[in-house]
Amino acid sequence: MSLYTVNKNTLECRLGNETVKIIPWGKNSVCIIAVPIGEAVLTDWALLPEVGAQQGNEASVNISVDENVATLVAGKLTVKAEKTGWRERIKLSFYKSNSGELLFAEADAGGALNLHARNFDAIRGGSYKITASFTADPAEHLYGMGQYQQDIIDVKNCSFELAHRNSQASVPFVVSSKGYGFLWHNPAIGRASFAKNGTEWSAESAKQLDYWVTAGDTPAEIMSAYADATGHAPKMPEYGLGFWQCKLRYWNQEQILRIAREYKKRNLPIDVIVCDFYHWPHTGDFHFEKEYFPDPDAMIAELESMHIKLMVSIWPQIDAKSENFKEMADEGLLVQSDRGVPTQYNGGDYFGNCLFYDVTNPRARDYVWQKCKVNYFDKGVRIFWLDEAEPEYSTYDFPAYHYHLGSALEVGNLYPQLYAKGFYEGQKASGQSEIVNLLRCAWAGSQRYGALVWSGDIHSNWETLRRQICAGLNMGMAGIPWWTTDIGGFAGGRTEDPAFQELLVRWFQWGCFCPVMRLHGDRLPAEIIKRKDGSSNVNSGADNEVWSFGEANYKILEKYLHLREKLRAYIRQIMDEASEKGSPVMRPMFYEFPDDAQCFDLKDQYMFGSKYLVAPVLEAGCKTRQVYLPRGNWTEIDTGKTYQGGATVTVNTPIESIPVFEFEA
């Protein structure tokens, strides 16, 4: 049998029991699948099968084969497979087609070390612990990987847990300054390390090795190919462009209407108001509690008359006391535990003992959507806050949990993607055309299901604020263009504290230049909530509206509300670019200026689309800050002062202003 065979533009390599397939998958791109024994199988975890099928007949693919070496050229990407080493293995190398420059390659066997670049460690039951090892250029710069709570923009020399947690969204896609993008197409729990002496990806449990590579001349070209391969974000609805008002938590119908009326009375722009968690009797009931929301239809209708959308919180936990628990348990719609007590979330007296519903089961997705359709969608709700999307297990003991699609070790990172899919497909089937839902997590492909991701239950301090800049930028570079954060942070902020008020003002100014501008948080002091029968309900936080932080601060926040509205047409433009081209809305400086080495590691400034450079104020009491302006002409929008690019400038940062510069090439 031949070492290499060609079948419909797919190059198949067989040596011993191992099979490696190199499959053209979109423009300038390939998918690599390898199995130690048996047949390699196409998967659709994130990659769109139709993209791979379309590529099968394109003339841009050329394959040449000789005795020991085979080469597949897919546009700008060339993959070479070569039999090499003492023990005869297939080694893959990836090159730019036009220049022949090596992008990266699988690691060598290391001579007598006898290392395996594709290592399959068998696990009882038929899966493998898989490790893929590659050479690495110490000088390259990497961006992406999703949302991690670290003050780092260039993720080279970083190591990442491939798992979701509250405030951590693992999206395993990176863009290299060398001109390629790499997707680890595997939803297993694992790890990625981008070390000076090599790159390594691992999966704790998987059936096969599976990744995707694309080559491009610019970051924009790479991101466009990635969006083609994994799906484009839909068109952002108009209400996604403006201001969203939220707090933990508006706990009754009249409170929501009172706040909405006050915004209108003050002529303040507002597009969305949010009804947070525990507006239900028990977690998993999926409807308004009558004591606090006696007439939700009338509430939603009045909000609509003010041109304000209502977003409602949905949690994936099903309390044992919920009206839906027994039926869902009997129907096998809940996440199972392979060991120990089956409770997966214990939130105390308020939240109860809960199991998560199994979003990997299509029947479970449909069951929950049908409940939400009747109790929310049919009443006029069009935006859902899909909270706890990681999901947030009380203990992240991934080997203990089992889904419809397999062990959490093997498929656990799919949870937020399929959570978003269940609601997106339900809304589409119910006639909604433009969809955005807020989630606390994402995985590759989540963007195609209208996922707007926020950065989780973060703390209210300056260090955390600095981390959110990098989190948002790397989320965009991982292909999730819709991203937001709790303005002011979620926990620890006291409404009347001057130190917190300064932090909130700076955060709010930055929020004006985020993809979605959303004010949220659990402010102190808490408001104690009691039911009519005297029993305790979940507390509400202190006031969190723009007029809640003192008159002087209100004037500043009002300024940026109106500025956001003034920018609406521009934000529509860059949202459309995200949908059509896969472009991030928030862009690292490297994205717009890839040939400027000064931009590789700028982590405290970024481009909002291609027109505005944003330099948030990230320290208390800051009076000035330095900003690097790349080549071109720049105008500071608050002062009208102009600068010639190619230099670092020092600008004033009064509390009334965030440094923002308009770019002219």
Report the pLDDT value the prediction gives residue 1, as an integer from 0 to 100.
61
Q: Is 437 left (phi over 0), alpha (psi -120 to 50) or beta?
A: beta
Quote the CA–CA distance of 493 and 501 in Å, as a whole number: 8
**Per-residue confidence band for 343, with pLDDT thresholds at 50, 70 and 90:** confident
Neighbours of 466 (CB within 10 A): 17
Q: Is the pLDDT of residue 57 over 80?
A: no
Beta-bridge partners for 133? 200
Report the pLDDT value the prediction gives residue 392, as an integer from 0 to 100.
94
Task: Tell me which residue has tokens 């120990």.
Answer: 340
Task: Tell me which residue has tokens 């409940």.
Answer: 371
Report the pLDDT value the prediction gives residue 364, as an integer from 0 to 100.
98
**Per-residue confidence band for 251, with pLDDT thresholds at 50, 70 and 90:** very high
Per-residue pLDDT reduced to its tens digit, 482-518? 999 999 999 999 999 999 999 999 999 999 999 999 9
Report the pLDDT value the prediction gives residue 291, as an integer from 0 to 100.
96
CA atoms lying within 13 Å on the CB side of residue 406: 17
Average pLDDT of the residues in 539-545: 97
Residue 613: closest CA among 515, 516, 513? 513
Provide CB contacts within 8 A for 320, sequence distance 6+: 352, 353, 354, 355
Q: Is the pLDDT of residue 56 over 60?
A: no
Selected catalytic residue, list 82, 457, 543, 662: 457
**Per-residue confidence band for 348, with pLDDT thresholds at 50, 70 and 90:** low
φ, ψ (nearest 5 deg) of residue 587: -125, 130
- Computed over every residue of the chain, the mean pLDDT equals 96
Read off the tokens for 413: 């990172």
Q: Is the pLDDT of residue 53 over 90?
A: no
**Per-residue confidence band for 59, with pLDDT thresholds at 50, 70 and 90:** low
Q: Is the pLDDT of residue 104 over 80?
A: yes
Quote the CA–CA distance of 413 and 404 in Å, as a whole number: 14
Average pLDDT of the residues in 9-28: 95
297 is catalytic: no
pLDDT above 90 as % of the chain: 92
Q: Is the pLDDT of residue 349 over 80?
A: no
Q: Which helix (H) or strand (E) holds 464?
A: helix 462-477
Quote the CA–CA distance of 246 and 270 in Å, as a whole number: 11
Task: Tell me which residue has tokens 């939130």.
Answer: 347
Quote the CA–CA distance of 446 and 173 in Å, as a whole number: 13
276 is catalytic: no
Report the pLDDT value the prediction gives residue 105, as an integer from 0 to 100.
98
Report the pLDDT value the prediction gives residue 342, as an integer from 0 to 100.
74
Residue 180: closest CA among 228, 212, 135, 154? 212
- The number of residues in the chain equals 665
CA distances from 319 to 70, 90, 475 (A): 57, 52, 32
Per-residue pLDDT reduced to its tens digit, 547-568? 999 999 999 999 999 999 999 9
pLDDT above 70 as % of the chain: 98
Q: What is the DSSP string of 249-286?
A: T--SHHHHHHHHHHHHHTT----EEEE-S--SSSTT--
Higher pLDDT among residues 124 and 435, named by residue: 435
Helices (H) then strands (E): counts for the chain? 14, 42
- List own/partner pairs for 88-96 with CB under 8 A and 24 or more apart: 88/15, 89/15, 89/116, 89/117, 90/13, 90/15, 90/18, 90/20, 91/117, 92/20, 92/22, 92/32, 92/117, 94/180, 94/213, 94/215, 96/179, 96/215
Report the pLDDT value the prediction gives residue 395, as an integer from 0 to 100.
87
Q: Is the pLDDT of residue 345 over 90?
A: no
Rg (CA), the chain: 25
φ, ψ (nearest 5 deg) of residue 543: -55, 145
Provide CB contacts within 8 A for 276, sequence distance 6+: 246, 247, 248, 249, 250, 313, 385
387 is catalytic: yes
Per-residue pLDDT reduced to its tens digit, 183-202? 999 999 999 999 999 999 99
The DSSP secondary-structure symbol of 368 reads: H
Q: Whole-model pTM above 0.85?
A: yes
Average pLDDT of the residues in 516-533: 96
Three-state secondary structure string covering 321-335: CCCCHHHHHHCCCEC
Q: Is the pLDDT of residue 88 over 90?
A: no
Selected catalytic residue, list 390, 410, 545, 604: 390
Distance of alpha carbon 657 from the chain centroid: 29
Report the pLDDT value the prediction gives residue 422, as an integer from 0 to 100.
98
Q: ∠ CA(653), CA(655), CA(656), 5° rounding? A: 100
Average pLDDT of the residues in 36-51: 94
Per-residue pLDDT reduced to its tens digit, 596-615? 999 999 999 999 999 999 99
Task: Tell me which residue has tokens 């301090």.
Answer: 461
Report the pLDDT value the prediction gives residue 55, as an integer from 0 to 100.
64
Selected catalytic residue, list 387, 486, 545, 604: 387
Domains and CATH numbers, the chain: 4-230 (2.60.40.1760), 243-314+361-581 (3.20.20.80), 590-664 (2.60.40.1180)
Quote the CA–CA distance of 147 and 102 in Å, as a whole number: 29
φ, ψ (nearest 5 deg) of residue 468: -70, -30
Average pLDDT of the residues in 361-374: 98
Report the pLDDT value the prediction gives residue 400, as an integer from 0 to 100.
92
Average pLDDT of the residues in 156-167: 98
Report the pLDDT value the prediction gives residue 350, as an integer from 0 to 100.
62
Average pLDDT of the residues in 56-82: 89
